[in-house]
Structure 1
Amino acid sequence: MVTPQDMMRELDAGRVRPVYVLYGEERYLIDETARMLVERLVPPDDRDLNVAVYDLSEVPVQVAVEDWLTLPFFGQRRVVIGTHALFLTAERPPKKVEHDLDALLEALAAPPSFSTLVLTVPAAKLDERKRVVKALREAGVAVAFPPLKGAALSTWLVTRARDLGVTLTADAAEELVLRVGGELPFLVTELEKMAQYVGPGGTITTDVVQNLAPRTLEQDVFALVDRICRVDTAAAYRMLRDLWLQQEEPVRILALLARQFRLILQVKTLSAKGYGSQQIAQRLRVHPFAVKKAAEQGRRFAEETLLAILDALAEADYRMKAGGVDKELAVEAFVARLAQWVQRGAREGGNEP
């Protein structure tokens, strides 16, 4: 499988393929790579006349092929981009377009040296059974863009920060993904905002991310548990008061607390069985940073204590839904009980060495 890095090394060495097929689920990187190819292959003054983009969910591929075979106009190279080339997959396109694949096959048999065709495919894989896919691979190169996850995503963010002229620490990269999620467009937007905040040559730390990144209720509850595990009960109650002022629903907060403690128990159990953090993240389908924090929080509790906490959460949930109890007070009572569990563990030297 050809990677984006392989393609960049070829371009740096001066090798330009007549055809590039960019496929995968990471659409942001596909679009960015298509733009990069235009920037590398066609000078700015030539782009109005020698760059064309066709949406192949609307336009037949033969139109793009005809343009691809046309000599550059007052320039050295022409780039033709065809987006949404789903006819290269096993998927059924939402709209019927009469693509003349024979015209594409004929052009691929003797591709022009003066023009580059770029086809983008928003799908996990190509249909390798199709003649046209085989012909495209023979004439050019197919580059895969699988979703960035875990360490690969954090590394990509650190590199992007360097391109912006700032430093992003590894912990800050993990915190950013935890707060914003794994969608690259949102991550890049937040990263650019933080780069402006710290200025050229500055460093984006975990504190910067926590201060500037948008917060969700899930993240607030995660932070609430973290404060309690650090025996910072006063800060935990301040966070609860803020949540009440934001009119957050106590039942939902309790549900998120239960989800976090289930994760802590799962991580603790799997770690005891010898699983590494990356294996646990893949098995539970969560970000490695969430596994790391859950492992840290889990050191405060014995397994039987975590089971008791989950029982207490289930009991509080039942009482709240049955009525006759102040829901906010019920959550605060649980937090007080949880703080006692943590403080007891701290006095005993922790539940784990």
Structure 2
Amino acid sequence: MKIIKFRERLGTAVPEIIGYDNFLKSLDDEIIYPVYLFCGGEKFFLTEAVIRLKGALLSEKESQWNYVELDAEKIDDKDLFSELIAVPFFGEKRILIIKNSQKYFGSESKASKKEGEVIEEYFDRINSSCTVVFIMDGKVDKRKKIYGKLLEKGAVVEFLPLKGKNLTKWIGDQFNAYGKKIEKTAREYLAAGFDDLELLKTEIQKIVLFCGEESSMVTLEQVKEAVSRTQSVNIFDIIDAVGNRNSSLAVELVREMLAAGESPVFILYMISKHLRTIFRVKSLLQDGYSEKQIVAKLQLHPYAFRKIMEQSKNFSMEDLKKILRLLLKIDLMLKTSSVNSKLLLEMGVVELCL
């Protein structure tokens, strides 16, 4: 295992930010940096990366003693210093995970001057027995001195959400891992319906179990049936009802989903996301974009785009502007008002469909 102390020692220029795939490749090549900054919006890949790094450096027994997670918001400069210089216990390597590291690397840094100095000094005298992973939310401030110093000794790994063909390919790969193939329309259906990869992976496992060993090709019909069995009311049925301005069906489905324990805020978020997409599609059409250009620009799946195009006929641009203002109002009331949130959502859905 090669522990890289300086980026230049790789022999070639290393990009400032590498992606998840390149991170995995570096592990396969047995190249481990002494310090990482993990950032980006795809938490599923970030979690997988931590698991893979842990597996590359520590045995299961060693992990009990030499894998440490800290919250940057809950430690001071003294705690930080002692953890950075700590040596492994009953092992050769140690992994230190520091969550909420936007405190140090974010554009709205809240770190004390002393904490910044502790990290900068650590970068000057790396603890070779420890791999440190700073995990942050939000945007990295690349102007910071601390960021430049990290790049001299380590790597920044950005975990970007999968979209378009990359997402449908990932779905296909997941089914391949179970020895199955999946129809293109079925891949597009799943890609259009799930933003959360963790949830999507769970649904794929359920679909595989539903199809059984005899079925090697997963069809769209099987996917729809398997997904509907795992959830009596699908959020996408609600979205379609609102998109078709069918208020009675939309309210009925919302009530069922609320009764099943779903959050009003989540339901409103998904409805808002769909209606904002319809607004953007109509706006681009008015600006002269072709359907092919819109699909590429918004990174929509063909299955979702066809449905959005059909539903967009139910709204004028003026309708959508009023609806988007209403959605903001409902969202604010859900989060700040003492009014019954379920009743508020139902009334809002009725008004959206008028």
Report the CA distance between 1:2 and its aligned residue.
Answer: 1.1
1:146 aligned partner, one-letter code: L
Aligned to 2:107: 90
The answer as to whether partners of 2:35 and 2:131 remain within 8 angstroms in 1 is: yes
Report the CA distance between 1:222 and its aligned residue.
Answer: 4.4
Deviates most, 27-36 or 286-295: 286-295
Residues 245 and 78 (structure 1), Cα distance of their counterparts in 2 relative to 1, 3 Å cut: closer
Residues 43 and 189 (structure 1), Cα distance of their counterparts in 2 relative to 1, 3 Å cut: same
Answer yes or no: is 1:119 the counterpart of 2:137: no
- d(CA) in 1 for partners of 2:202 and 2:60? 25
Residues 217 and 71 (structure 1), Cα distance of their counterparts in 2 relative to 1, 3 Å cut: closer
Residues 292 and 245 (structure 1), Cα distance of their counterparts in 2 relative to 1, 3 Å cut: closer
User: Structure 1: any 5+ residue segments left out of the alignment?
Assistant: 227-239, 250-255, 299-305, 315-353
Task: Identify which of 35, 50, 70 aligns with 1:54.
Answer: 70
Report the CA distance between 1:174 and its aligned residue.
Answer: 1.7
* 1:58-86 Cα shifts (integer Å, max 9, x gaps): 22365345323222212121111011101
Report the CA distance between 1:99 and its aligned residue.
Answer: 6.1
- d(CA) in 1 for partners of 2:279 and 2:143? 45
2:108 aligned partner, one-letter code: E
Aligned to 1:303: none
- d(CA) in 1 for partners of 2:52 and 2:43? 14
The answer as to whether partners of 2:238 and 2:253 remain within 8 angstroms in 1 is: no
- d(CA) in 1 for partners of 2:19 and 2:303? 26
Residues 243 and 7 (structure 1), Cα distance of their counterparts in 2 relative to 1, 3 Å cut: same
Aligned to 1:44: 60
Residues 198 and 62 (structure 1), Cα distance of their counterparts in 2 relative to 1, 3 Å cut: farther
- d(CA) in 1 for partners of 2:297 and 2:52? 35
SS at structure 1 position matched to 2:44: helix
Report the CA distance between 1:152 and its aligned residue.
Answer: 2.0
The answer as to whether partners of 1:195 and 1:202 remain within 8 angstroms in 2 is: no
Aligned to 1:232: none
SS at structure 1 position matched to 2:18: coil
The answer as to whether partners of 1:166 and 1:199 remain within 8 angstroms in 2 is: no
Deviates most, 216-225 or 155-164: 216-225
Aligned to 1:107: 122
Task: Identify which of 37, 48, 55 aligns with 1:21.
Answer: 37
* 1:151-177 Cα shifts (integer Å, max 9, x gaps): 222222222333455434432222113
Identity %: 22
Map 1:1-353 onto structure 2 (within 5 A): 1-60=17-76, 63-86=79-102, 87-92=104-109, 100-123=115-138, 125-179=139-193, 181-199=194-212, 202-213=216-227, 214=231, 215-216=233-234, 218-219=236-237, 222=240, 243=249, 246=252, 270=285, 275=290, 277=292, 279-281=293-295, 283=297, 286-293=300-307
1:30 aligned partner, one-letter code: L
Report the CA distance between 1:21 and its aligned residue.
Answer: 0.8
Report the CA distance between 1:190 and its aligned residue.
Answer: 1.4
- d(CA) in 2 for partners of 1:244 and 1:38? 46
TM-score by length of 2: 0.64
The answer as to whether partners of 2:37 and 2:135 remain within 8 angstroms in 1 is: yes
- d(CA) in 1 for partners of 2:75 and 2:56? 26
Number of residue pairs matched by the alignment = 275
Q: How much is the aligned-residue C-alpha RMSD, in angstroms?
A: 3.9
SS at structure 2 position matched to 1:57: helix
TM-score by length of 1: 0.64
Residues 165 and 108 (structure 1), Cα distance of their counterparts in 2 relative to 1, 3 Å cut: farther
SS at structure 2 position matched to 1:29: helix
Deviates most, 110-119 or 163-172: 163-172
The answer as to whether partners of 2:284 and 2:294 remain within 8 angstroms in 1 is: no
- d(CA) in 1 for partners of 2:225 and 2:287? 35
The answer as to whether partners of 1:281 and 1:287 remain within 8 angstroms in 2 is: yes
Report the CA distance between 1:10 and its aligned residue.
Answer: 1.3
* 1:191-220 Cα shifts (integer Å, max 9, x gaps): 222233234684433122211224536436
The answer as to whether partners of 2:241 and 2:250 remain within 8 angstroms in 1 is: no
The answer as to whether partners of 1:264 and 1:294 remain within 8 angstroms in 2 is: no
Structure with larger Rg: 1
Residues 61 and 163 (structure 1), Cα distance of their counterparts in 2 relative to 1, 3 Å cut: farther
User: Structure 2: any 5+ residue segments left out of the alignment?
Assistant: 1-16, 256-270, 320-354
The answer as to whether partners of 1:21 and 1:142 remain within 8 angstroms in 2 is: yes
SS at structure 1 position matched to 2:156: strand
- d(CA) in 1 for partners of 2:216 and 2:305? 29
